[in-house]
Structure 1
């Protein structure tokens, strides 16, 4: 079993005007809220924590019937600070973290990550997708060596915003507001950040014009 944290506290600036009356996590793709697509990918994790800020009561209401802990984050802490803030609810072990603005085909992200996770040699494991199976603008890129270790590479695999991370480094950081990427690059420097390839397709749904391509990707899945 592993704990999971889904990040849903952002202001949704790139998703305006759809986020003028709701959080980005409640924007619908293929008839379902983005947060529901995300929770599908971490299903089976326990506990599951979702942070909220922009229209937080709407998100909490949407999730009221789910076995999910919603943390109203105020002020915003970014991803690193948000994860550290949630640790009392997540426990001391590794945590599966996930952004809430993506759509997926193929196996559940949780299953792929847990099958590859090795806490003895990894401090972080990120789920990667080749550019040919990605839809939308994508994120940070890395190359992966034969042992799965990652290094930055602008022509490499795309980080999907999902991973498993040990959290000891968060507790040592004196800042309150910081990005989880800071933790990634500390792990990179020490050769402790690894990757595993997602065998399906992935869509970045960060803006209104990204919704139709994501829905087309989902519709094309047998």
Structure 2
């Protein structure tokens, strides 16, 4: 296994030989009760759905439309299907979510011999030096078409069991068709079926991501991603009504804030009444408040 920044220039595989998949089928159990209202992929970060951030990043690399981009759905899948519309091929999994590996296997006929750039819908990435798309282009640049590539960030403890060459996975991977074609359509994860076997074979490469990465899997990380998207200040949607005080807040479309909020995300349509003082929390509707301190 090799690890490093990865090439930023040089030949890339022909675009016709690669497709992209955004994994958006999961239940987001660690983010409950927020994900009892929306699938995690549609939870807003900086007033933009996480899934839209992933699709925008792929569009920045030239992947757009149902011929080259697919989205899988399962948990609250009807919401994902309506949200995506005609922007991508939709793979709706029956029953419970199939996991990252099973979900990819369920798309085998659509992938149809192509290599696959796979992104997790819940990954929040931001590089101040590069716009979405170019910020992860090193995953594709100079690729030999054989190795498995992972986007990674240096781990605080390189000895952690979930690391790869001292890096933690940062939301996107590049997989050759040879590693995808025989995946079983069953509940399974790519870390077990593809990444670790490739690592054992010396065919795994980690490409450094120098920006910020958060997996948004917990309320604390979800809040942190929103505050990062706000750039140290606040984001207030133009249709929100705010008569109270706010500091380092993200306030969604149609929200009404009469009270005081600090380090708070108010979801679209959320209400904070005049007598309320919210800190380190996410407000959904009028009454649901999810504590989100790290």
Tell me the TM-score normalized by structure 1.
0.82
From the CA coordinates, give the structure whose radius of gyration is larger.
Answer: 2
1 or 2 for the larger relative contact order (CA 8 Å, sep ≥6)? 1
Q: 2:162 aligns with which of 125, 133, 140?
A: 140
Q: Which has the higher strand share?
A: 2
Please report how far the alpha carbon of residue 218 of structure 1 lies from its aligned counterpart in structure 2 after TM superposition. Answer: 2.4
- Stretch moving more, 174-183 or 156-165: 174-183
2:21 counterpart residue number: 5
**Structure 1 residues not aligned, in runs of 5+:** 133-137, 144-155
| 1:18-60 alpha-carbon deviations (Å, 9 max, x no partner) | 1112211111111011101111222222511110011111111
2:203 counterpart residue number: 192
Matches of 1:118 and 1:218 in 2, distance apart? 34
1:169 counterpart residue number: 179
Q: Counterpart of 2:164 in 1: which secondary structure?
A: strand
CA-atom RMSD in angstroms: 2.2
1:201 counterpart residue number: 212
| Residues 85 and 127 of structure 1: CA distance in aligned 2, closer, same or farther (over 3 Å) | same
Matches of 1:139 and 1:20 in 2, distance apart? 30
| 8 Å CA contact retained: 2:116, 2:174 | yes
Q: Which has the higher helix share?
A: 1
**Structure 2 residues not aligned, in runs of 5+:** 1-14, 233-294
Q: 1:48 aligns with which of 48, 69, 73?
A: 69
| 2:88 aligned with 1:77 | no
| 8 Å CA contact retained: 2:39, 2:80 | yes
| 8 Å CA contact retained: 2:93, 2:103 | yes
| 8 Å CA contact retained: 2:70, 2:90 | yes
Matches of 1:56 and 1:17 in 2, distance apart? 17
Corresponding pairs, count: 201
Please report how far the alpha carbon of residue 92 of structure 1 lies from its aligned counterpart in structure 2 after TM superposition. Answer: 0.8
Q: 2:123 aligns with which of 92, 97, 102?
A: 102
Q: Counterpart of 2:211 in 1: which secondary structure?
A: coil
| Residues 117 and 168 of structure 1: CA distance in aligned 2, closer, same or farther (over 3 Å) | same
Tell me the TM-score normalized by structure 2.
0.63
Displacement over 4 Å in runs of 4+: none
